[in-house]
Structure 1
Amino acid sequence: MRNQFLNQEGKIIVGDLMTDKIWDSYLPKKFQTLSPYQWTPIFVIERTWKFLLEDQVKSVLDLGSGVGKFCVYLSLLSKGSFPILGLEDRKELVSVSQAMKEQWKATNVDFQNTNFLKDFPLGHSHYYCFNPLYETMKGSHRIDDLKEKSANQFLKDLQSLKLNFLLLKPKTKLITYHGFGGSYLPGFKIILKEEIENGEFKVWERE
């Protein structure tokens, strides 16, 4: 699969300067142009790692993992010290994610082609999302037009996501960049809130 998606070879050495431009250059062209709007920026992944360093991490789950940027780079930063799982409902993006995993030789990270609204995995210590319901909104810079886009569908999905979050155990952390789709999350308290690079970085804790 690797050669199908990547036309460059390289190796990331943790500690070297990483930028979105460098990372995205290994993606298929059509996904490079979506990067500023769809894939988690490098500085957000690094901020997440800084938070995780001071917390007790058993596993991290990315809801709507896209091309795997968050999961793979976090794996490199953490040197595979805990399991990381990305859930994505587009098969093509899961294939790209697996290729990126191979490219950077990332360890203890995996991807699954599944709809997290319908099949929500429990038991992880930390969850991450970058506005995972955006594709049901009638906004610009969408990945494709495969999903129904309407206010009604968005509200329906948001309610499903909130109900899934309520199933999480107390002390479970939810890390968000540009939110989860709403501004209020019952059953959670905000333990960290920062404005970083035109986006809001929050950490929620299940009460």
Structure 2
Amino acid sequence: MIFKALRSNIRVDDSTFDDLYPSNIKILGHRHWTPVDVAKMAATYLVQHPNDKILDIGAGAGKFCLVGATCTEGIFYGVEQRESLVEISTEIAQKHQINNVEFIHANIDQITFSDYDAFYFYNSFYENIDTSCPIDNSILPNQELYYSYTEYLRQQLRQLPIGTRIVSYWSGWEEIPTSFDLEHTACRGLLNFWKKII
């Protein structure tokens, strides 16, 4: 019913969507998983053509990809370092026959950005410097990883063609190269829509 509603452009609230997850994952939703309305806005901006490949950088429980794949004609890829979250996301996609989504168990520095058309970034590296609400204890915070992942993201974005789009949410702007122009914002400046212009 949730995905049928999304396909019909009927609003789905986050508590309803998060019921798809086990309780230990659901309780993290307010802090770590993209709200449904934000995911719809971001996905609509990122998918310019049918079958555009959209990469979620640090997919977590896969919520952005699941919503985006349901609401658009794009193909969504979520890279996530926690294998348990990849398994949960994949199981939900398979159960609900969402075929235009794939979850990848890897670190971001194992991903080549040129394989994708557009990108979503919900400050996924920040858990390495903020220990106030950990997802679990399987990944230990590491400040050096925060800086190395951020630099890898910047380097990859610099190499992409003019016209490439990225949406950032709850993120500083240091990850975004100056070759990207801020087209507009939403959610009181927390959601930012970027396009590469040079």
Under TM normalisation by the shorter chain, which class is it? 0.7 to 0.9
Name the CA distance, whole Å, in 2 between partners of 1:12 and 1:83.
16
Q: Does residue 176 of structure 2 align to residue 185 of structure 1?
A: yes
Aligned-CA RMSD value: 2.2
8 Å CA contact 1:188–1:204 kept in 2: the answer is no
Offset at 1:119?
Answer: 2.9
In structure 2, which of residues 30, 46, 54 is the aligned counterpart of residue 60 of structure 1? Answer: 54
Q: Which runs of 5+ in 2 are unaligned?
A: none
8 Å CA contact 2:58–2:80 kept in 1: the answer is yes
Look up the SS of the partner of 1:61 in the other structure: strand
Q: Does residue 190 of structure 2 align to residue 200 of structure 1?
A: yes
Q: Does residue 122 of structure 2 align to residue 130 of structure 1?
A: yes
Identity, in percent, stands at 22
Once superposed, which parts of structure 1, at least 4 consecutive aligned residues long, lie more than 6 Å away?
none
Offset at 1:165?
Answer: 1.7
The number of residue pairs the alignment matches comes to 193
Name the CA distance, whole Å, in 2 between partners of 1:99 and 1:146.
21
In structure 1, which of residues 131, 137, 146 is the aligned counterpart of residue 138 of structure 2? Answer: 146
Name the CA distance, whole Å, in 2 between partners of 1:201 and 1:128.
10
Q: Does residue 62 of structure 2 align to residue 71 of structure 1?
A: no
8 Å CA contact 2:118–2:164 kept in 1: the answer is yes
Look up the SS of the partner of 2:113 in the other structure: coil
8 Å CA contact 1:68–1:97 kept in 2: the answer is yes
8 Å CA contact 1:176–1:202 kept in 2: the answer is yes
CA gap 1:41/1:19 in 2 versus in 1, 3 angstroms: same
Offset at 1:11?
Answer: 5.3
Offset at 1:178?
Answer: 1.2
Offset at 1:17?
Answer: 2.9
CA gap 1:64/1:146 in 2 versus in 1, 3 angstroms: same
Q: Which runs of 5+ in 1 are unaligned?
A: 1-9
Name the CA distance, whole Å, in 2 between partners of 1:11 and 1:158.
34
8 Å CA contact 1:11–1:104 kept in 2: the answer is no
CA gap 1:45/1:163 in 2 versus in 1, 3 angstroms: same
Question: TM-score scaled to structure 1, two decimals?
Answer: 0.83
Name the CA distance, whole Å, in 2 between partners of 1:169 and 1:49.
19
What amino acid sits opposite 1:188 in the alignment?
S
State the partner residue of 2:37.
43
8 Å CA contact 1:131–1:177 kept in 2: the answer is yes
State the partner residue of 2:19.
25
Q: What are the Cα deviations for residues 28-86 of structure 1, in whole angstroms up to 9, with x where unaligned?
A: 11001100111110010121244246x346221111111111111111112xx232111
Name the CA distance, whole Å, in 2 between partners of 1:184 and 1:97.
26
Name the CA distance, whole Å, in 2 between partners of 1:188 and 1:117.
21
CA gap 1:148/1:161 in 2 versus in 1, 3 angstroms: farther
8 Å CA contact 1:40–1:130 kept in 2: the answer is yes
